[in-house]
Amino acid sequence: MSVHEIQPVDSKQHMLNPTDIFLVAAHEDKNGQKTFAEAAKKSHVSPERILYSALIQEYSLKALIRIREGNTLYTIAAVGDRVGLVRIYDGDTDTNYTENISQFILASKKIGFDYLTILPTEPKSVTSLKLFAENTKLEGVKTHFDKDNTVFTINTGRQKG
């Protein structure tokens, strides 16, 4: 994937390999690039390149649970009883991304997570998460968005059984 081709890819037409998903995620994450701007300047590389490397390192942590939906990757760090801290690495189109988030939340619930905290939350994620909350048929789902800290929390509802 060249610099000119770095853009979200419709997973219904083409599945990206994970390294390409990280390329797209780093390219699209302008806030993340700002975070690494000073380090990039000192290292004489682009903030996008440092962010790309950081995303791969983060995703590689052995303690994380990894889930893939379309061209979107997710990690969950179990931080308590049935509580997970989520990071999203997105390389999919907006339409598919909304569907991917819904599938991810269902998968998270099935593997036993009742509460998910997603950080940092990009505007695209907030929109998709709100759409999920409005349209879900899952009983007991509650969501909250902390705009000041860009944190989105989801109570998936207590798992039955």
Q: DSSP label at 3?
A: G
pTM: 0.88
CB-CB contact of 67 with 103 (8 Å): no
Domains present along the chain, CATH in parentheses: 15-60 (no CATH), 63-161 (3.30.1370)
Q: What is the average pLDDT across 73-78?
A: 97
Average pLDDT, the chain: 89
Nearest to residue 118, comparing CAs of 92, 100, 136? 100
Residue-wise pLDDT for 7-22, tens only, equals 999 999 999 999 999 9
